[in-house]
């Protein structure tokens, strides 16, 4: 099966450019200095008008910066007196790129909006640059890096500049020059106090998301401004009127803005290889392709280089410490007993970096107390940190902030939500309680919970190092190896900590597998991906020269299947799924369901608390149902599935390959056996009655959801395409409906009555086919990669399927042995089909 390369190429381009946020365009350098390009001629009248305005008079330095002013020196010198603030901007800073990162430092009470509105949330990120303007003004331009050209000798250079004028985000009157005229003084008091997008909420939508609206000036003020060698920190208390769905009339919160001076010479970017999973930043390069436009995409990664005195040692293959290691600080608010596990989760990556030639390249430490360093702040963008969030949200996140010019990661704040421990508890109980007695408790022992925290810490740190999810890693492991105690404890149940393969749910009690074979770990793929991203390669002077060498290295390395990367963005590849295990979803899910059946009768006893209601038991029951649905969903993705394996150059093998007919038939047999045949084991009376759950209604909801997924336009299009391309060798759309009919209408073929759960299933099946067969001819209902119903065989096949079902129903109605409710059920289905065809 083939997908449209042009469409997917456009989608990838859009995703890359939006992820990179900005790109490189309009600056040219002369003798190592940057010059801002002149505005196009259309702007000249405005410029002339500005020149005619009377320039702001320049005062003497000592008249502005008086002796009673408090001065702090840094890359921007800050002067303050009472509630007035002045910045002293050196000329050497003109044309330099400054990254701003704005965050909520302290959140207001009752401001939560789901997972949003907590301390640490990023509310703005952009790059700005100072320049001297007319009329004694200093301009601050917002820099975009979406398009790039550097060859000023080509006509293209001027064309790109004309279409990429960097907007002036702010203007400041120059009040004075310092004594040697190397710097200019500006008054930033009003700027800091205003509700501006540079330092605070970058967009109105972000404000709306946080639930705030206009700033209330009389209740807002600047707490402090701290300046350092390469960064400046602004802390403000801001009060805003309530926005949408307010819990109060207004909200007061503290915001922190970090202004970080980016390197004058950007790190050499490493061109992304889609066979290695890295976050990316990109731009359009008008120089790289003389006959077109080249999309340049860099992997996001930290700048790791040996110290100057260790360069030769590194080249000889000796392990050396990087000039600037990656350090994560632990939020002082973190509960003390979990800190060692969070630190270990970070330090576990050290071995991977040794593959890249660096020792002690990444580690965590506790943040200094206020007594130890009163100027230290978690919100300082020059620090990376693990932030503890007292929230009911069950999650953890590992974002990073990067230099859009090169992909260099500048800093990261990992967010650790307190209630993620509830999620870890539920996952581990449902997936491993059948084989690990430690999981059979309402509250886990600290050591077990600590180890669960450690693995999540490692996963999130992986994201901050640049690594994407690798949903395909676990598919490289044979299912039976997951039950082999010696093998799985030595190699792990997935080659990547970046997979969403939480725990080894395939392991059975008789396998006697220990924690080493149940928990994920930093593994083969992770070590290899870190080496690809972080080995220092000074022998290559350009990204393209380096790319040639790295491409061959990756191609050769992929002879080892455990290094395969499967993107989470694959809509049809059954190998790339979250929460799955092994190379055969049917076998793995069958083992998983066996374990669910084992623990189902015990869940109430494990989770009951004498002094509390049944909510804990009900939560665990819901987790079991969700796990069961995931197991079935893993199998469903094989139906109409297409394997997608990225290739480069002359790398052998197909890029896309249709899942075999035999495997799809195996999947359909599983769905019939474990889902279409009513899974009565879910109707555990001790749980259902205690939790006051209506089993019939809950099962009906699952049936509707499953049928919507199975009979979707995209899946049917894949099946039809396979039928067109491979003929009888393929598992086609007609094979699919034949198997569905045999599985769902079994009683009709056998002349039996239909019980209530199966009646609901049959109604759901018919309703979904009717819905798809008579969908309106609306182009907006068609998803990319799917056939239009009117201009393909799909509509005809769907309507013929309805005729087949109606014929079967009519024949069954002739059976005198049917009970009354079955007869009513069949008549209603027959009438539905008749009415639909009559309308059309």
Alpha-carbon distance 381 to 388, whole Å? Answer: 17
Per-residue confidence band for 38, with pLDDT thresholds at 50, 70 and 90: very low
Residue 44: CA count within 13 A, CB half-sphere: 4
Alpha-carbon distance 268 to 538, whole Å? Answer: 10
Q: Tell me the percentage of the chain whose pLDDT exceeds 90.
A: 73
pLDDT at position 42 over 60? no
- Scored b (16 or more CB within 10 A) or e, 317-353 reads eeebebeebbebbbbeebeeebbebbbbbbbbbbebb
Alpha-carbon distance 232 to 256, whole Å? Answer: 10
Per-residue confidence band for 44, with pLDDT thresholds at 50, 70 and 90: very low
Alpha-carbon distance 299 to 179, whole Å? Answer: 45
Q: Is 179 helix (H, G, I), strand (E, B) or coil?
A: coil
Beta strands in 69-160 (DSSP E): 70-72, 77-81, 84-90, 98-106, 122-133, 137-143, 147-148
- CB-based contacts of 413: which residues, under 8 Å, 6+ apart? 103, 120, 122, 378, 384, 385, 386, 387, 399
User: How big is the chain, counted in residues?
Assistant: 840
Helix (H) or strand (E) holding 314: helix 311-315
Neighbours of 6 (CB within 10 A): 8
Asked whether the beta carbons of 506 and 596 are under 8 A apart, the reply is: no
pLDDT at position 25 over 90? no
Neighbours of 271 (CB within 10 A): 19
Query: Model confidence over 150-185: pLDDT tens digits?
Result: 666 666 777 777 788 899 999 999 999 999 999 999
**Lowest mean per-residue pLDDT among 42-51, 105-114, 492-501:** 42-51
Alpha-carbon distance 64 to 57, whole Å? Answer: 12
pLDDT at position 485 over 80? yes
In whole angstroms, what separates CA 688 from the centre of its chain?
36
Of 358, 281, 311, 280, nearest in space to 530 by CA: 358
Per-residue confidence band for 307, with pLDDT thresholds at 50, 70 and 90: very high
Per-residue confidence band for 392, with pLDDT thresholds at 50, 70 and 90: confident
Q: Is 676 helix (H, G, I), strand (E, B) or coil?
A: helix
Mean pLDDT of 689-717: 93
Query: Model confidence over 428-460: pLDDT tens digits?
Result: 999 999 999 999 999 999 999 999 999 999 999
What confidence score (pLDDT) does residue 278 get? Answer: 97
Q: Tell me what the pLDDT averaged over the chain comes to.
A: 89
C-alpha distances (whole Å) from 287 to each of 20, 36, 160, 211, 339 are 19, 19, 11, 44, 49
Of 636, 642, 703, nearest in space to 670 by CA: 636
What confidence score (pLDDT) does residue 788 get? Answer: 59
Q: Tell me the percentage of the chain whose pLDDT exceeds 70.
A: 89
Mean pLDDT of 601-607: 89
What confidence score (pLDDT) does residue 36 get? Answer: 33
What confidence score (pLDDT) does residue 18 get? Answer: 38
Alpha-carbon distance 560 to 525, whole Å? Answer: 10
Helix (H) or strand (E) holding 550: helix 543-557
Q: Where are the alpha helices (DSSP H) in 32-138?
A: 44-52, 61-64
Alpha-carbon distance 692 to 679, whole Å? Answer: 19
Q: Look up the pTM and report it.
A: 0.87
Of 744, 733, 745, nearest in space to 813 by CA: 745
Query: Model confidence over 10-20: pLDDT tens digits?
Result: 333 333 333 33
Asked whether the beta carbons of 262 and 239 are under 8 A apart, the reply is: no
Per-residue confidence band for 391, with pLDDT thresholds at 50, 70 and 90: confident
C-alpha distances (whole Å) from 216 to each of 194, 204, 247, 307, 422 are 10, 16, 17, 50, 39
What confidence score (pLDDT) does residue 162 get? Answer: 79
Going by the DSSP 8-state scheme, the letter that residue 8 receives in this structure is H
Give the bridge partners for 122, in sequence order.
103
Q: Which residue has the tokens 């009354």?
A: 820
pLDDT at position 822 over 70? yes
Asked whether the beta carbons of 353 and 362 are under 8 A apart, the reply is: yes
Per-residue confidence band for 783, with pLDDT thresholds at 50, 70 and 90: low
Helix (H) or strand (E) holding 294: strand 294-299
Asked whether the beta carbons of 644 and 655 are under 8 A apart, the reply is: yes
Q: Which residue has the tokens 């449209």?
A: 4
Alpha-carbon distance 820 to 489, whole Å? Answer: 57
In whole angstroms, what separates CA 783 from the centre of its chain?
22
Helices vs strands, H then E, count in the chain:
26, 26
pLDDT at position 491 over 60? yes
In whole angstroms, what separates CA 441 from the centre of its chain?
32
Asked whether the beta carbons of 518 and 442 are under 8 A apart, the reply is: no
Q: Where are the alpha helices (DSSP H) in 560-694?
A: 585-599, 603-607, 615-636, 661-671, 685-688
pLDDT at position 43 over 80? no
Of 585, 713, 589, 709, nearest in space to 659 by CA: 585
Q: Which residue has the tokens 């929460």?
A: 579
- CB-based contacts of 624: which residues, under 8 Å, 6+ apart? 430, 596, 599, 600, 603, 682
Mean pLDDT of 695-713: 95
Asked whether the beta carbons of 160 and 135 are under 8 A apart, the reply is: no
- CB-based contacts of 368: which residues, under 8 Å, 6+ apart? 376
What confidence score (pLDDT) does residue 689 get? Answer: 82
Alpha-carbon distance 688 to 682, whole Å? Answer: 9
Q: Which residue has the tokens 């608390």?
A: 609
Alpha-carbon distance 680 to 177, whole Å? Answer: 82
pLDDT at position 47 over 90? no
**Lowest mean per-residue pLDDT among 50-54, 470-474, 618-622:** 50-54
Distance spanning both ends of the chain, measured CA to CA = 33
Neighbours of 505 (CB within 10 A): 31
């Amino acid at each position: 099966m083939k997908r449209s390369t042009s469409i997917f190429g456009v989608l990838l381009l859009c995703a890359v450019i939006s992820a990179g946020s900005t790109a490189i365009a309009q600056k040219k350098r002369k003798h190592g200095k940057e010059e801002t390009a002149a505005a196009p001629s259309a702007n000249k009248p405005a410029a002339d008008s500005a020149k005619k305005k009377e320039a702001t008079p320049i005062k003497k330095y000592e008249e502005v910066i008086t002796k009673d002013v408090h001065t702090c020196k840094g890359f921007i010198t800050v002067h303050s007196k009472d509630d007035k603030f002045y910045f002293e901007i050196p000329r050497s800073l003109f044309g330099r790129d400054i990254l701003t990162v704005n965050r909520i430092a302290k959140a207001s009470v009752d401001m939560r909006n789901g997972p949003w509105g907590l301390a640490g949330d990023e509310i703005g990120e952009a790059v700005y640059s100072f320049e001297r303007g007319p009329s004694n003004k200093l301009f601050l331009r917002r820099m975009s890096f979406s398009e790039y050209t550097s060859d000023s000798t080509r006509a293209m250079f001027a064309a790109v500049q004309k279409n990429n004028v960097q907007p002036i985000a702010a203007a400041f009157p120059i009040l004075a020059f310092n004594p040697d005229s190397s710097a200019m003084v500006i008054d930033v008091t009003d700027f800091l106090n205003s509700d501006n997008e540079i330092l605070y909420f970058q967009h109105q939508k972000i404000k709306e998301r946080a639930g705030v609206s206009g700033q209330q000036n009389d209740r807002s003020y600047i707490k402090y401004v701290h300046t350092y060698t390469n960064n400046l920190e602004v802390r403000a208390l801001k009060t805003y009127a309530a926005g949408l769905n307010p819990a109060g009339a207004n909200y007061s919160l503290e915001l922190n803005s970090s202004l970080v001076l980016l390197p004058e010479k950007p790190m050499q970017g490493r061109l992304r290889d889609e066979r290695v999973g890295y976050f990316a930043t990109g731009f359009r390069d008008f120089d790289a392709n003389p006959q077109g436009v080249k999309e340049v995409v860099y992997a996001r990664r930290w700048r790791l280089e040996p110290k100057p005195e260790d360069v030769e040692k590194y080249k000889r293959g000796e392990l050396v410490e990087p000039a600037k290691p990656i350090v994560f600080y632990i939020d002082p608010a973190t509960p003390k007993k979990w800190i060692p596990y969070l630190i270990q989760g970070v330090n576990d990556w050290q071995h991977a970096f040794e593959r890249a030639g660096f020792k002690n390249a990444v580690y965590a430490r506790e943040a200094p107390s206020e007594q130890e360093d009163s100027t230290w702040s978690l919100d300082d963008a020059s620090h990376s940190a693990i932030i503890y969030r007292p929230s009911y949200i069950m999650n953890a996140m590992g974002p990073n902030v990067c230099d859009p010019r090169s992909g260099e990661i500048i800093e990261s704040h990992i967010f650790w939500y307190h209630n993620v421990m509830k999620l870890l508890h539920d996952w581990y109980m449902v997936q491993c309680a059948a084989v690990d007695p430690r999981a059979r408790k309402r509250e886990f022992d600290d050591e077990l919970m600590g180890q669960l925290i450690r693995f999540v810490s490692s996963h999130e740190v992986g994201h901050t190092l640049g690594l994407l999810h690798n949903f395909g890693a676990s598919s490289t492991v044979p299912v039976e190896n997951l039950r082999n105690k010696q093998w799985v404890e030595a190699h792990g149940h997935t080659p990547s900590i970046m997979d969403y393969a939480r725990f080894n749910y395939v392991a059975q009690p008789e396998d006697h597998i220990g924690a080493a074979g149940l928990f994920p770990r930093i593994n083969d793929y992770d070590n290899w991906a870190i080496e690809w991203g972080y080995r220092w390669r000074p022998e290559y002077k350009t990204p393209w020269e380096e790319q040639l060498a790295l491409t061959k290295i990756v191609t050769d390395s992929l002879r080892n299947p455990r290094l395969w990367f499967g993107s989470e963005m694959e809509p049809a590849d059954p190998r790339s799924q979250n929460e799955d295990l092994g190379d055969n979803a049917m076998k793995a899910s069958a083992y998983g369901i066996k374990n669910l059946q084992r623990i189902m009768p015990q869940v109430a006893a494990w989770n009951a608390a004498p002094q509390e209601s049944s909510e804990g038991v009900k939560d665990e029951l819901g987790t079991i149902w969700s796990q069961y649905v995931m197991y079935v969903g893993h199998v469903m993705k094989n139906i109409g599935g297409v394997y997608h394996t990225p290739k480069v150059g002359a790398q052998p093998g197909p890029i896309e390959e249709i899942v075999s007919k035999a495997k799809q038939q195996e999947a359909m047999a599983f769905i019939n056996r474990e889902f279409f045949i009513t899974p009565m084991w879910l109707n555990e009376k001790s749980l259902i009655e205690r939790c006051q759950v209506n089993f019939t209604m809950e099962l009906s909801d699952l049936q509707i959801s499953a049928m919507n997924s199975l009979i979707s336009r995209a899946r049917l299009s894949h099946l039809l395409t396979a039928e067109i391309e491979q003929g009888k060798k393929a598992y086609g759309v007609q094979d699919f409906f034949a198997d569905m009919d045999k599985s769902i209408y079994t009683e009709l073929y056998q002349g039996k009555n239909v019980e209530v759960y199966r009646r609901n299933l049959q109604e759901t099946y018919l309703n979904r086919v009717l819905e798809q067969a008579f969908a309106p001819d609306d182009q907006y209902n068609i998803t990319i990669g799917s056939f239009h119903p009117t201009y393909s065989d799909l509509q005809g096949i769907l309507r013929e399927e309805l005729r087949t079902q109606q014929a079967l129903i009519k024949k069954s109605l002739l059976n005198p042995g049917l009970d009354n409710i079955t007869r009513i059920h069949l008549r209603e289905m027959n009438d539905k089909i008749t009415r639909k065809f009559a309308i059309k």
